[in-house]
Structure formats: structure tokens, C-alpha cells
Amino acid sequence: MLLLFIPGNFLRWIGWMAFAAQAGWMGIDLVISRLLGAALIALAWSSFRGWRATETAQIASLVEMEAAFTILSCAGLLRHLVFRHLPMMVWIPFVVFAFFAVAWIVSLVRIRRG
């Protein structure tokens, strides 16, 4: 929520500026930060709806979306991790996304099997 409404302050509070400076990046892009905040809120809402859903088709489509998001996030982060020397802090979201990607894929396989 904070990333959507006050991205600059929020990213400063969590130490993003120091991380960005260490990685050789420029300042905070407020437009992309707000888009990320909106996407994360939407993703959380769809996760909640999937948790409360009762129909298999509805659950499967939400799990597919979650799996696609986490797999694509891993691919995007891995591209940076392989071709650039970034701080270890970038490995943390990669590991989290990879864990969730595996969990969503396992869930999707279980849903498909019935």
C-alpha cells in the first residue's frame, strides 16, 4: 500500500537509496514504483479471492496467474543476477519468488489431477 501512495518515502525508509547507490543505479522512479505497488495490491487481492474460491476452474485460473507472475519475476531477476554483479540483497526476492513459483506449480498440478 505504501509503495502505491508514498513510494519515495517508503523506499527511503527501507534503505533502497543505499542499495541503489551501491548497485550504480539512479534515484527512485516514482511511476514504476507506483505501478509495482498497484500490481502487488492487485496480486494480493486475487490471492485472497483464490483462497476464498470454491470452484475448481476459478481456483485454477488464479493459480495459473500466480505461477506466471512468479516464474516471470524469477526470469527477470535472474537476467540481472547473471549478467550484472548486484549485491546479495537482490538474491532475496529471487529466492522468495522461486519458492513461490515451485509452490504454485505444485498446486496447479494437484488441481489439474483432481
5-47 pLDDT, tens digit each: 988 888 888 877 777 777 677 777 778 888 888 988 988 898 8
Question: Does residue 29 sit in helix, strand or coil?
Answer: coil
Please check whether residue 63 is in contact with residue 111, taking contact to mean a CB–CB distance below 8 angstroms: yes
Distance between CA 84 and CA 57 in Å, rounded? 41
Res. 67 pLDDT band, cuts 50 70 90: very high
Spans of all domains in the chain: 1-52, 54-114
Cell numbers that stand for 3 in this block: 509503495
Q: pTM score, two decimals?
A: 0.73
Per-residue buried b or exposed e for 72-93, using 16+ beta carbons within 10 Å of the residue's own CB: ebbeebeeeeeeeebeeeeeee
Res. 71 pLDDT band, cuts 50 70 90: very high
